[in-house]
Structure 1
Amino acid sequence: MAVQPEGTPCWADAMFTDLEGAKSFYGDVLGWTFGEAQSQYGNYTQAYVDGKAVAAVVPPMSDQGGQSAWCLYLASADVEATAAKVRQNGGEVLMEPMQVGDFGSMLLARDPSGVVFGAWQGGTHEGFEAKGVPGAYAWAEVFTREPEKSDAFFPAVFGYSAKQMEDPQVDFRMFDVGEDTVLGRMKMTEDFPPEVPPYINVYFTVDDCDVAIKTATELGGVLRFGPMNTPFGRFAALSDPQGASFSVIDLTTTEGEVPRTSDVT
């Protein structure tokens, strides 16, 4: 697999206090199977679909508590250089660049609006081994109350070009790497409770959105929004039993025309 272009979403993981509970939940909702916990890396445990790595779960380190949350990693050719760009553009490096064996190197950062994300410089582990198939990553969106900050930051750090959706009802922007749209940005409205921090919402592909909702809610998950048909698929936003937000999307069930967009200079 070729190295991912700079800024392309390339991996997702989450910390869970109840790791076995998370494995059971996502195994049932998304069909994941799990590899062996890697004790030398804090019991980091990869999730697989048809033998291909699609995400990972990990217990929190002793000094890390708080809310479970999915973290999206963006591809970086040089995490040291990415860390410098984060700082130069008003962001904060939360975890300094570190090498993870021969798998690659990573950092964790926060944009000026409060959105936490990772950067990954691939080694033997280049990232997602499958995308857009049931159980695998499909899409992600930056949710922020201060879109002007995120809109300046992410293109400055990762070289994105941007286009804005021409819809007066929704403040939505898309970031492109070359010809490929790789990430969305949604302005958080007053529909979001003030205690919900800015975050990146990760979408996982499912065969049937409604079946995934039913399974998730029966297992203690919470339906936050949807299901809703869009030109891109039928999706719903959920929280798992440990509070981590994510979305599911059936990419085959589409409705309506793709909204018009205009380039942003």
Structure 2
Amino acid sequence: MEMHSYPPGRPSWVDLGTPDPAAAAEFYGGLFGWAGEEGPPESGGYRMCLMNGYPVAGIGPMRHSGRPFWATYISVVDADTTAKSVRDAGGQVYLEPMDVMTWGRMAALSDPTGAAFAVWQPRDHIGAGLWGEPGACCWNELTTREPAAAAEFYHAVFGWTARTEPMGGFPYTVWLRGDQWIGGMLTMDEKWPADIPAHWMVYFAATDTDTAAARARELGGAVLVPPTDIQPGRFTVLGDPQGAVFSIITPPTG
């Protein structure tokens, strides 16, 4: 779907912080067919990833310690007001609101359960120009051990409602803003390794999950969860050569 704007409170952009942006751009270009376009010098090495001429994701140098990761950005009217709301609701502000050239204004934050995310106040750059198309982001999912605390936080900051529904035999929580599904939440239980922190998972759409998983392995990535059928489609969890984790899903046919 071609996007021209995003309502406040909806995920609108994803980007990757990585120690080797050039290698990452080569990997994701080979996997999704993205064309990399490096920004002007003042962008600090940030690359805009294009598909059919539309921006679908960003790749930039990692500016933190730890492992590289895909970040989910949520569209807001005012990044400064949202950062204050995050603090008031018990979250943290890792990067104070700042202008990103003429593209927009952003802040890097985390919820009280430890999951990092960002907010985007659009100006010249609205976010992803495509959503839900193969090779573009299609879903954003909070994974946390404290779903009740997360539900309270995101309702206070963004007005989201958490609604749990049966999903393939187990309960799954979807985030709603009004009556629109805008993301999901998965609860980590005792089966999850203790060293995996709360996080936002980014899902990209694909025409064939199995082919995409095989291609990722050919390009030097890892298949962390093999292609598996679930109610929303067939998905896999992958790792890129630098260690960033992401998911791919193909909706069911018929």
- Shorter-chain TM-score category? over 0.9
Matched, 1:108 2:114: no
Deviations 1:91-148 (A, max 9, x none): 0011111111211100010100000000000001000100111110110100001111
Distance in structure 2 (CA, Å) of the matches to 1:2 and 1:25: 28
Find the residue that maps to 1:77 and give its secondary structure. coil
Distance in structure 2 (CA, Å) of the matches to 1:95 and 1:198: 19
Q: Does the 8 Å CA contact 1:216/1:222 hold for their aligned counterparts?
A: yes
Find the residue that maps to 2:229 and give its secondary structure. strand
How far did residue 206 of structure 1 move? 1.1
How far did residue 9 of structure 1 move? 0.6
Distance in structure 2 (CA, Å) of the matches to 1:41 and 1:2: 23
How far did residue 250 of structure 1 move? 1.2
Q: Which residue of 1 aligns with 2:56?
A: 54
State percent identity of aligned pairs: 37
Distance in structure 2 (CA, Å) of the matches to 1:242 and 1:198: 20
Find the residue that maps to 2:133 and give its secondary structure. coil
Structure 1 residues 34 and 252: alpha-carbon distance in aligned structure 2, compared to 1, 3 A threshold? farther
What residue identity is the alignment partner of 2:97?
P
Gaps of 5+ in 1: 255-265
Deviations 1:22-50 (A, max 9, x none): 01111111111111243201111000110
Q: Which residue of 2 aligns with 1:201?
A: 201
How far did residue 211 of structure 1 move? 0.6
Distance in structure 2 (CA, Å) of the matches to 1:146 and 1:51: 40
Distance in structure 2 (CA, Å) of the matches to 1:39 and 1:70: 23
Structure 1 residues 215 and 99: alpha-carbon distance in aligned structure 2, compared to 1, 3 A threshold? same
Q: Which moved more, 1:238-247 or 1:112-121?
A: 238-247
Distance in structure 1 (CA, Å) of the matches to 2:200 and 2:192: 14
Find the residue that maps to 2:38 and give its secondary structure. coil
Q: Which residue of 2 aligns with 1:184?
A: 184
Distance in structure 1 (CA, Å) of the matches to 2:4 and 2:56: 16
What residue identity is the alignment partner of 2:120?
W
Structure 1 residues 167 and 29: alpha-carbon distance in aligned structure 2, compared to 1, 3 A threshold? closer
CA RMSD of aligned residues (A): 1.7
What residue identity is the alignment partner of 1:82?
T
Q: 1:43 aligns with which of 33, 40, 45?
A: 45
Find the residue that maps to 2:156 and give its secondary structure. helix
Distance in structure 2 (CA, Å) of the matches to 1:162 and 1:148: 9
Paired residues, number:
252
Gaps of 5+ in 2: none
How far did residue 14 of structure 1 move? 1.0
Distance in structure 1 (CA, Å) of the matches to 2:244 and 2:34: 17
Q: Which residue of 1 aligns with 2:142?
A: 142
Q: Does the 8 Å CA contact 1:38/1:45 hold for their aligned counterparts?
A: no
How far did residue 2 of structure 1 move? 4.8
Distance in structure 1 (CA, Å) of the matches to 2:167 and 2:57: 33
Deviations 1:140-188 (A, max 9, x none): 1000011111111111100112211246964521111222100101001
Distance in structure 1 (CA, Å) of the matches to 2:51 and 2:112: 35
Matched, 1:19 2:21: yes
Distance in structure 1 (CA, Å) of the matches to 2:61 and 2:206: 25
Find the residue that maps to 1:35 and give its secondary structure. strand
The within-5 A match list for 1:146-165 is: 146-165=146-165
Distance in structure 2 (CA, Å) of the matches to 1:37 and 1:101: 10
Q: Does the 8 Å CA contact 1:229/1:253 hold for their aligned counterparts?
A: no
Q: Which residue of 2 aligns with 1:262?
A: none
Q: Which residue of 2 aligns with 1:79?
A: 79
Q: Which residue of 2 aligns with 1:126?
A: 126
